[in-house]
Amino acid sequence: MTATVTSTSAQPAAAGTRFPDGFVWGAATASYQIEGAAREDGRGPSIWDTFSRTPGKVVGGHTGDVACDHYHRYAEDVALMADLGLGAYRFSVAWPRIRPDGTGPVNVRGLDFYDRLTDELLAKGIDPVVTLYHWDLPQTLEDRGGWTVRETAEAFADYAEVVYRRLGDRVATWTTLNEPWCTAYLGYGNGIHAPGKQDPAGSLAAVHHLNLAHGLAARALRAAGARNISITLNPCEVSPLDPTNPADIAAATIIDGVANRIFLDPLLRGEYPADVLEHISRITDLSFIKDGDTEIIHQPLDILGINFYTPSYVSAKPGQPGAGDYPGSEGIAFRKPVGPVTDMNWQIEPASLTRLLTRIHRDYPGTPLMITENGAAYPEGVHDPLRVDYLNDHLRACHDALAAGVDLRGYFAWSLLDNFEWAEGYVKRFGIVHVDYTTQERALKDSAKWYREVIKRNGLE
């Protein structure tokens, strides 16, 4: 991450809760979740347009057709960001706006939108942090096999370079993919996300082609001149329910393998872990891994983005059917959340974030980390003390990780705005800014006002 963003500390916080100088304070969104304008200015259809129109896939039949209408209201939204004092804004580029059919002609009007947005951000002193893929794959590419085929990885690198050539003079930080875990396992494993496939072998091919897409794009971006290259993962702390039980420990190792190490190891060590390859070889013949692929995947990484929401606890349970989002998880049970949960029914456990960051720092040393998403869904309303608590406690967990020596460079709240929460439609609200979907009015929630103070003092109270 570029160090161009410096937080001002108007009132220094107590020593214990102050963040390092230059710590990046941001908020994040994603194209399909906020932009709307689904058929405007030459945008082609994405897998989420198709999926959200498929009956029964998204709560309430909601689609991203209008969403937060950010495509038209981006200037107003950037003004909000400036009002909050954000140093950086993480947004994603919609591939089908840039190349409507995935590989063909470039749609200049699509690039123009991100150009306007970038300039608006810079004019307000906000650092644009671009994610090139946050799940809206051009439908034409899905029709040719999507992430289960290698061509999609190649097409991604070409598209990445097109965007870089337009914005690279002003955008410092380039993130290739957002949460390939979700793309592969929710998209092609259990099918709760677009394109809605249920194909365990296909989901593992998708994992590899996403890793490869990152490597090819990172290489192309760097060759074109990009300096700060990152990927955002959603690593999860997977713990054995009974830490003294060897069968539970073995179960946790399997899930940690298919959820975390299958991405982290090739990206940061240049090889897939042997235990994971062995484990998945009963599902796939691995023929999609070609000679030289792991070298391509293993590109220098300037920052590793981490999205964190909740931990997992697993135990060995003979006879338990496998979960589609964890291939080969037969005989392993996931504990239901205990204690306080958010509106997503996700267990709240901030200390898990500290442990996760510490572990990544230890096992994959030398790569600076950035929280690229963290936040909570709570029901409608601008008074959101539970969200304030969630954010406060997780920032404290980040601070604990810093104190333990983790090289953590910044924090992006998910999300700037209430938005289209994928299969949950507009029902789950993650915004620190409330959106009235009838009038498109924005209103700062208490959490946004609280976050503004955190940013101002560069620390917690």
161 is catalytic: no
The sign of the dihedral angle between the CA atoms of 448, 453, 457, 461 is negative
307 makes contact with ligand FCB (CB under 6 A): yes
| Catalytic option among 35, 373, 421, 424 | 373
We find the least distance from the C-beta atom of residue 135 to ligand FCB, in angstroms, to be: 7
Contact in structure between 373 and 394 (CB atoms under 8 Å): no
If one asks whether residue 422 binds ligand FCB (CB under 6 A), the answer comes out as yes
Q: Does 35 bind ligand FCB (CB under 6 A)?
A: no
Q: Does 312 bind ligand FCB (CB under 6 A)?
A: no
| Beta carbons within 8 Å of 312's beta carbon, 6+ residues apart | 236, 237, 238, 239, 255, 259, 334, 335
Q: How far apart are CA 168 and CA 230, in angstroms?
A: 14
Q: Does 430 bind ligand FCB (CB under 6 A)?
A: yes
Of residues 7 and 234, the one with the C-beta less far from ligand FCB: 234
**Residues belonging to the chain:** 461
Among 161, 179, 237, 293, binds ligand FCB (CB under 6 A): 179
CA 155/CA 381 separation, integer angstroms: 42
- Residue 330 annotated to the active site: no
Q: What are phi and psi of 313, to 5 degrees?
A: -125, 130
**Interface positions, 317-356, toward ligand FCB (CB under 6 A):** none
User: To which residue do tokens 């089908």 refer?
Assistant: 96
Q: Which is nearer to ligand FCB, 296 or 304 (CB)?
A: 304
Collect all residues with Cβ–Cβ distance below 8 Å to 337 and sequence separation of at least 6. 310, 345, 346, 347
Helical pair 108-123 and 70-84, crossing angle rounded to 10 deg: 20
Asked if the peptide bond before residue 415 counts as cis, ω within 30 degrees of 0, the response is yes
178 binds ligand FCB (CB under 6 A): yes
Token couple for 128: 């644009």
* Chosen residue from 30, 184, 229, 276 binding ligand FCB by CB under 6 A: 30
Instruction: Considering the complex, state which of residue 47 and residue 241 has its C-beta at the smaller distance from ligand FCB.
Output: 47
Q: State yes or no: residue 447 binds ligand FCB (CB under 6 A).
A: no
If one asks whether residue 373 binds ligand FCB (CB under 6 A), the answer comes out as yes
- The piece of 44-52, 165-173, 177-185, 271-279 that touches ligand FCB (CB under 6 A) is 177-185
Q: How far is the CB of 178 from ligand FCB (least distance, A)?
A: 5
∠ CA 201-321-142, rounded to 5°: 30
- Which residues bind to ligand FCB, rule: CB under 6 A? 30, 33, 178-179, 182, 234, 307, 373, 414, 421-422, 430
Q: Which residues are catalytic?
A: 179, 373
